[in-house]
Amino acid sequence: MATHSTAAGGKSRPARAGVTDFFQRTLDSLLSHMAVLRPDGTIVAVNAAWNAFAAGNGLAESHCGPGANYLDVCDAAEGDCAEQATLTARGIRDVGRGRTPSFQMEYPCHSPTERHWFVVRATRFAVGAEVFVVVTHDDVTQRKVAEQALQEANRLLEVLATTDGLTGVANRRRFDRTLALEWERHARSATPLSLLLVDVDHFKKYNDSRGHQEGDHCLREIAGALGESAVRPGDLVARYGGEEFAIVLPETGRPGAMTIAEAVRGRLHLRGLPHGAPGAGPLVTLSIGCATMTPGRVDPADALVERADRALYEAKAAGRDQARHSD
| Digit-coded pLDDT (tens) for 220-275 | 999 999 999 999 999 999 999 999 999 999 999 999 999 999 999 999 999 999 99
Taking alpha carbons only, the member of 1, 4, 17 closest to residue 57 is 4
Contact at 8 Å (CB) between 200 and 320? Answer: no
Closest residue by Cα to residue 311 from 146, 198, 179: 198
Query: Does 152 map to a domain?
Result: no
Average pLDDT on 57-84 reads 82
Q: Are residues 87 and 214 in the same domain?
A: no
Structural domain ending residue among the three candidates 144, 176, 199? 144
Secondary element (H or E) of residue 118: strand 117-127
The number of angstroms, rounded, from the C-alpha of 3 to the middle of its chain's C-alpha atoms is: 29
Cβ-in-10-Å burial (0-12, 13-18, 19+) of 179 comes to buried
Are 26 and 78 members of one domain? yes
The residues with which 289 forms a beta bridge, in sequence order, are: 197, 324
Q: Strand pairing partners for 292? A: 194
Contact (Cβ atoms closer than 8 angstroms) between residue 246 and residue 197: yes
Asked if residue 42 has pLDDT above 80, the reply is yes
Q: Number of structural domains, the chain? A: 2
Whether 155 maps to a domain, the answer reads no
* Euclidean distance between CA atoms 210 and 207, whole angstroms: 5
First-to-last alpha carbon distance for the chain, in angstroms, is 65
Give the per-residue pLDDT at 31: 87
Those residues whose C-beta lies under 8 Å from the C-beta of residue 47, and which sit 6 or more positions away, are 24, 27, 28, 30, 32, 33, 34, 35
By C-alpha distance, which of 233, 231, 314, 321 is closest to 281? 321
227 lies in a domain? yes
Which positions are catalytic?
243
What's the CA gap between 282 and 47, in Å, rounded? Answer: 81
Mean pLDDT of 155-167: 87
Q: What is the span of the domain harbouring residue 56? A: 2-144
Stretch 10-14: mean pLDDT, rounded? 45
Whether residue 311 is found in the same domain as residue 211? yes
Helix-, strand-, coil-residue percentages of the chain, each rounded to 5:
45, 25, 30
**pLDDT 10s digits, 87-96:** 999 999 999 9
The answer as to whether 159 is a domain residue is: no
Structure confidence by residue, pLDDT tens digits, 299-327: 899 999 999 999 999 999 999 999 999 97
CA 103 to chain centre: 27
Q: How far is CA 271 from the centre of its chain?
A: 34
pTM: 0.61
CA 95 to the chain's CA centroid: 34
Q: Which CATH number fits the domain that encloses residue 188?
A: 3.30.70.270
- Return the DSSP state at 80: G
Q: How many CA atoms lie within 13 A of 136 on its CB side?
A: 14
**Residue 62 reports pLDDT greater than 60:** yes
Please indicate, yes or no, whether residues 192 and 251 belong to a single structural domain of this protein: yes
| Better pLDDT: 154 or 79 | 154
| Least confident among 1-15, 46-60, 164-178 | 1-15
Neighbours of 20 (CB within 10 A): 10
Q: Give the span between the Cα atoms of 119 and 242, in whole angstroms.
A: 52
Between residues 268 and 14, which one has the greater pLDDT? Answer: 268
**Residue 150 counted as domain residue:** no
